Chain A
Amino acid sequence: MTKEKYLEDLKDIKSMMERSSRFISLSGISGVIAGVLALIGAYLAYQTVYYEQDYLSYRKAIMNEATIIELLTIALGVLILSFSAGVFFTQRKARKNNQKLWDKQAKLLVINLMIPLTVGGLLCLILLFKGFIGLVAPLTLVFYGLALINASKYTLSEIRSLGLFEIALGLIGCQFVGFGLILWAIGFGLLHIVYGVVMHLKYGS
């Protein structure tokens, strides 16, 4: 029995524990794409809400039924496109790593992500229709952050700190409602791009 054999055993044990309990094929590129899409979405939302106003003077968010429907359409579009990109690039990475996309770990990841996300989504819809519009953007950040933290046990550990940042931005947005959209753009846009790049460099594509 040589030292090398035992070193290799330890490496095997660690790798097996990781592989069997965490979904590690999460792709960094999909994070970058989700971030870019979110920035485009935030820009479109900005145009919708603050249209025909002088940039330098006091601006008022214009909210009526038409703009709300437009905002929901933008949000839905960003969500669907980001999700598709995420699945596409993660699948590509999983295939490269010889791993299945939809294995037990992926299921655990999705289920634990979806619980806080669904609660948050429904709550935001309720608030939207009751007129608490300013809280919607920051609360999506808070619940997205909680969802990430909840799911981080089943995937790359960086996801946990991303979740903490999202929650912090969301809470700031709840206090300073006027910065809601900008904080939303930072949380869903900038942070996704930063984390996507970091994870791409660290884990490959």
Chain B
Amino acid sequence: MKEILKDLNKAFENKVRLGVMSALMVNDFLDFNSLKELLDVTDGNLASHLKALEKNEYIEVTKEFINRKPNTKYMATALGKDAFRKHIKAIEQLLK
């Protein structure tokens, strides 16, 4: 039981962060607006959760300019994908 709880990740307890990671697991990258539409949250709310995930080094951020407009792309890091997989496994174990 302790082993299982160890893999449950506090970083993914929040619904927005869970959603961001789920989306980034199956997409090479997503930009800010796509994430916003998918999750149906406000700019500020999404930004703060993205910051938290970035701080954990679970996601990587690249900024580029398209027609002089800034475009921010987010992708899951190997560390983030691994942690998320463990988190899902732990949930499945708990539900057994």
Which residues of A approach B to under 8 Å, CB–CB? Answer: 3, 6-7, 9-10, 12-14, 16-17, 19-21, 100, 103-104
Contact = CB atoms under 8 A, between A and B. Distances in A.
B11 interface: no
Interface residues of B, number: 17
Interface string B6-37: 00000000010011001101110010001001
A13 B22 CA distance: 5
Given A12-B15, A103-B37, A17 B22 contact: yes
Contact of A20 (B15, B27, B95): B27
Given A16-B22, A17-B23, A10 B88 contact: yes
B19 A12 contact: yes
A10 B37 contact: no
* Residue from A20, A21, A103 with most neighbouring chain B CB atoms (10 Å): A20
B95 A21 contact: no
Contacts, number: 46
Interface string B67-96: 000000000000000000000100110110
Contacts of A9: 18, 91
A12 B18 contact: yes
A21 B26 contact: yes
Given A9-B18, A21-B26, A21-B27, A16 B38 contact: yes
